[in-house]
Amino acid sequence: MKDSINTLNNELVDAKIALDKIFLDPNNPRFTSLKWADISDDQIADVTIQAATKRKLEEGFSINKLVDNIQINGYLPIDRVIVKQFAEDKYVVLEGNRRICAAKNIMEQYKSNHEQVEKTVVDSLREISCLVYTGSERQPSWVFQGLRHIIGIQEWPAYNKARLLVQLMEDENLSLTEVGKKFGLTAYGAGQWVRGYYAFMQAAEESDYTQEIDERAYPYLQEIFSRSNPVFKEWLQWDDTHYKFNDNLKFNEFLSWLYPRNEENKLDGVEVKGNWDNRLIKRSNDIRIVSFLLRESRSDFEMFRADGDLEKAQNSANTRKYLESQDPSTETIEKIKSCTKALDDIPFKLVVSRKEELSDLLEKLEDKVREILEACQ
């Protein structure tokens, strides 16, 4: 991680750049979705592309709050915007799109009505203190934003983080250890994000639920690869060589828990899409309850599969475990099992060195066993 940051520092150059020469990034990692597509450098400055990018930021990333703040305090370059030159005298934002979008909105207000904006605010926006990236990373915006948002600042949606890691792995042929180091993650942590991404893409492209799957399902698929859920991963038959689940029937059953379909609800013979709001597993962490059922109480797991009531199955399993723990017969059986194992493992040296003592104990044990066997008949 430290080496990556040092390398990036050496590839950043201070500069003051006119606001009208700075362009919003249409490939902003914040926009990543299943329908996300790259915009080439020669399209970045296009008026339509910039307007669409600006609209995305305004709709989903609280630009108005930044506008209000700048209107009150002026533009404060506490964190410099990071840009990259993509054409002569034109720069695209790698980190700081929200701030530049807010600044451009204020300048538009000023141009339409000078009285709407204080002159001191306008003066603070004419030139922006920037760091110009001069390196050769193929996806520099992913790197800079990833450093800030995967491990801090404003949270990204989980799917966006996962796509970032996979994008870098594929573009730069990185291992899990290498891509993890870029963002302060262990190899295991990076692997959980990456495996979750490939599982999500399998659901989105190859399952019976391709019409329903959206980014909300990603955290559930990532959770399967946490340290708490190996039994569930095995139940779905995860193939770590090809990064996919091999049991398609069970995988589709799992997806049906996230997007339940009403088999009786069809329109003109066409099945209505599964409804996320009716999902049987309400939170991604509840995957751990499913794993608990698989591990500790298969009968209650089968009950969940039959009626879809996870809370009832969990309560049943917990009650069963409690009653077993309160039943002295269970403890007695376990002690008998331990005794049998001890007899299986008696070392020959003990037979020779403590023959008389051992013989006496075994005779007493034989008497007790005979009494119990007679009682059982």
Q: Are residues 96 and 210 in the same domain?
A: no
Give the Cα separation of 245 and 202 in Å (integer).
Answer: 8
Q: Which domain holds residue 347?
A: 328-376
Q: pLDDT > 90: what percent of the chain?
A: 44
Inter-residue contact 125 to 17 (CB < 8 Å): no
Residues 126 and 36 in one domain: yes
Task: Tell me: do 141 and 204 sit in the same domain.
Answer: no
Least confident of 5-19, 138-152, 345-359: 138-152
pLDDT at 329: 73
Residue 336 lies in a domain: yes
Q: Could you report the per-residue pLDDT of 255-274, keeping only the tens digit for each? A: 999 999 986 655 555 667 89
Burial of 262 per CB tally in 10 Å (0-12, 13-18, 19+):
exposed
pLDDT band at 2 (very low <50, low <70, confident <90, very high): very low
Q: With a cut of 70, say whether residue 38 has pLDDT above it.
A: yes
Alpha carbons 69 and 178: distance in angstroms, whole number:
39
Crossing angle of helices 158-172 and 187-206, in 10° steps, is: 100
Model pTM? 0.58
**Residues of the chain above pLDDT 70, percent:** 86
Residue 333 has pLDDT above 70, yes or no: yes
Of 95 and 313, the one with more pLDDT: 313
Query: Do 139 and 34 belong to one domain?
Result: yes
28, 115: one domain? yes
pLDDT in tens, 135-152: 766 555 555 555 554 444
Task: Quote the radius of gyration of the chain (alpha carbons, Å).
Answer: 31
Is residue 321, in this structure, part of any structural domain at all?
Answer: no
- CA dihedral for 136, 138, 142, 143, sign (positive or negative): negative
Domain count, the chain: 3
136 plus 34 within the same structural domain = yes
Q: How far is CA 360 from CA 102, 214, 219, 336, 374, in A?
A: 90, 71, 62, 19, 22
Handedness of CA 289, 291, 297, 300 (dihedral sign): positive
The residue-averaged pLDDT of 217-229 equals 95
User: What is the per-residue pLDDT for 80?
Assistant: 83
Render pLDDT for 272-317 as a digit per residue (tens, 0 to 9): 789 999 999 999 999 999 999 999 999 999 999 999 999 999 999 9
pLDDT the model gives residue 136? 67
Write down the pLDDT at residue 259: 96
Q: What value does the mean pLDDT of the chain take?
A: 85
Asked whether the predicted pLDDT for residue 155 surpasses 80, the reply is no
